[in-house]
Each structure stands twice: as C-alpha cells, then as structure tokens.
Chains A and B, each alone.
Chain A
C-alpha cells in the first residue's frame, strides 16, 4: 500500500510517500507523478519520512522521476529516509546520486 501527497513549496514539488514503494505500488507512483499539475515541476523532493520499504522496482520508478526532472532542467533529491530504506539507497547508489537530506527544508535549500 502506498499513499502519496504533494505540495509546492518555493516552486519545489514535495512528494510525501507513505507505506511501501514496490512492484505492486510503483504504478501509483508513476500515475501520480504523471498528473498534469505535477509533471511540470523540474525540482522534486521525495519526503521518505513514512516510507517503510522500497524495492528495486520502486527504485526504478524513482529513477524515472529523476530522469524526467533532469529533462526539464532540474533535479530530484530525497529527505528523511529511515534506516532500512537508507541502506537500500546506499547499496543501489541512489543516496550518492540524488543526495539524502535530514528534512524537507534542507532538501529544498539544497535543490533550489
């Protein structure tokens, strides 16, 4: 199960992920990030405070979102990642590529 909420702060799209991002829920993530009002943002912060689990398929859709942001001249970054998800991020190299910040404010400051 994955719940997604979003808000715009200083022209940065902050997406909060709640639950699991895996092969079953990845479509929810894709559909949400493809919505017209969200797909125009070039700077994205993924708030992973309540993200309990991420699989390789979850990483793939996250990679796609990062690619999309890059194509619009922006970037994607992560924040408030718990220990279990952070381990996956580090093993897969996502942490180094996108940056992991302790909270939303730091992430917005880093990406702006």
Chain B
C-alpha cells in the first residue's frame, strides 16, 4: 500500500510545533546577532526568519487545504501546497543570496568575530532540535505522502546540519583566534550554508513544479496499477490509456478501458467497481476513475 491520505490533524500539529520552535529560534538568534559582529550569526538570523515565514505559510496553507471543496474549487485546493512549497524554495534562494553577498564582503574585509558565546549555545541547541524534528517528519512521511511534509523534512535536515557546522566553526574561531586564517572561518562557513540552502531550494521547488504541471505518478506506482489490471485481466477487452497525477497529498487515477460490446451496462459497472476498489486499496484515499471508453 502506498501514499495513504495525509492526516490533517497530525500534519497541522507538527507544523504548529515547528512554527513555535522557529519563532523561539528566531528571537534567540536575533538576540545573539545583536550582541555580536559575527556574519555567521547575523546570516543565521535572516535564515531563521525565512524558516519561520515558510513554516507559518505552510501552517496557513494546510488549514486552507483542509477545507471541503466548494463549487469554485470542485477538486479542492491541494495544489496550494505545491505553490507554497515553491514559495519556500524562493525564500531559501533569497536567503542563500543574502548570505553569499555578505560572505564576499567579509572575505574582502576580514574582521575578528566577538561576542559569539550566546551564538554557540543557540546553534548547538538549535541543531539538537533540528535533528529531532527531522526524525519526526521522516516518520510521518513513511505513512503519508505530502509535499509540505517532504519540504519540511528537508528543511529541518539542512537546518540541523547547518547549525551544527556553525557552532563548530564559531568554536574553532575562538580556539584558533591568534592565527590570521581564523578570520576567514566565519565567511567560509557561510558559503557552506549557502550550498545547503541552494540544494534545499532546488529540491523543494522541482518536486512541486512537477506536481503543478500534473506529472504522472512515479513508475513504481504505475507498476502497481498495471499489477491490478493484470489481476483483472479477464474483466476488460483493452487498456486505452492510464492517466495519473497528484494534487498536494491527493492522488488521482484515471483508467480508460474497453469492454466487450455484448456486455450489459450493469455488468460493465460491476467490473468497473471491482477494479476501482482494488486500485483504491493500493492507493488509500486516491480518487480512482475507471472510464469505459472505445478510443484512446
């Protein structure tokens, strides 16, 4: 069984916790940035800002998506999840660009960082929470498919590693403070952070763009559909076309089948229902339409 429907309550709950943690992180990093001249801490403050906005946007989106479809949006607004994920990707890109320009400036005019102890403590704690949230989201993703959960999971993973690396760099800069090269540790660490952010932005955006463009389900899922058609080999005469797509966490499957022209409508409907149920069993919550068709 794959991709059961997203449990809105657990998803919303997870996002609420994430938003709270991000807000605390943002306030703490803001304080640390205020008392220090470290580029690492300042850039992290902006990154935390982007993270907080993205989690907040995701929370609002999930609440909107969970509303029942109305006559204006008869298919629901599942694609809003994808649009928000693209927005998150753009925010991550903007954060990466900001850090990059700051780092270039610090390479040109290196200066010794001071007042970094609060930053080290915050980065260490933030890294711990980041890994904890990543494990939590990863467990949720094992039982439900969601663009937002996937983007959140990636976000926490990159954040946890980023914070761990920043804490390590700030500690190294203090330990080796008497050497001139230690002045470059701060902007150097920022560049690694830029790579993390760019990679995250790319991953989040591409998967969402594919879903917005109604890309078919992945091949593994298509093979499951074929398996169900093979199981019901004698129920139809031909398979004209199979169309699949995702909209947020919703899955839509359309199978165009040809039937024996001698069959009565009632019998065709019984066969359609049987096959439809079998496919729905494999894709819990998916909207499956079997269409009796005479052409491809």
1/0 per position for A57-78, CB-CB distance to B under 8 A?
Answer: 1011001100100010000000
Interchain CB contact under 8 A, A60 and B242? yes
Q: In chain B, residues 203-241, which have Cβ atoms closer than 8 Å to a Cβ of chain A?
A: 219, 222-223, 225-227, 229-231, 233, 237-239
From A56, A88, A91, A93, give the contact of B242 (CB < 8 A): A56
**B238 contact set on A, CB distance < 8 A:** 64, 67
The residue in chain B whose Cβ has the minimal distance to the Cβ of A62 is: B226
Closest-CB distance, B288 to chain A (whole angstroms): 16
**B219 contact set on A, CB distance < 8 A:** 55-56
Number of contact residues on A: which range applies? 10 to 19
Main SS of the interface on chain A?
helix
Interchain CB contact under 8 A, B226 and A59? yes
> Does A97 count as interface, using CB distance less than 8 angstroms?
yes
CA distance A111 to B199 in the complex (A): 53
Interchain CB contact under 8 A, A56 and B226? yes
Interchain CB contact under 8 A, B237 and A60? no
> Does A92 count as interface, using CB distance less than 8 angstroms?
yes
Interchain CB contact under 8 A, B233 and A92? no
Interchain CB contact under 8 A, B226 and A92? yes
**A97 contact set on B, CB distance < 8 A:** 230, 233
CA distance A92 to B237 in the complex (A): 18
From B230, B239, B242, give the contact of A92 (CB < 8 A): B230
CA distance A96 to B226 in the complex (A): 13
**B227 contact set on A, CB distance < 8 A:** 91-93
Closest-CB distance, B283 to chain A (whole angstroms): 14
CA distance A28 to B61 in the complex (A): 45
**A94 contact set on B, CB distance < 8 A:** 226, 230
Sample of 17 more A-B contacts, CB < 8 Å, known A63-B229, A91-B227, A92-B223: A55-B219, A55-B222, A56-B222, A56-B225, A56-B226, A59-B223, A60-B226, A63-B233, A63-B239, A64-B238, A71-B237, A92-B226, A92-B227, A92-B230, A93-B226, A94-B226, A94-B230
26 A-B residue pairs with CB within 8 Å? A56-B225, A56-B226, A59-B223, A59-B226, A60-B226, A60-B239, A60-B242, A63-B226, A63-B229, A63-B230, A64-B238, A64-B239, A67-B237, A71-B237, A88-B223, A91-B223, A91-B227, A92-B223, A92-B226, A92-B230, A93-B226, A93-B230, A93-B231, A96-B230, A97-B230, A97-B233
- A-B pairs with lowest CB-CB distance, top 8: A56-B222, A93-B230, A92-B226, A93-B227, A59-B226, A92-B223, A92-B227, A97-B230
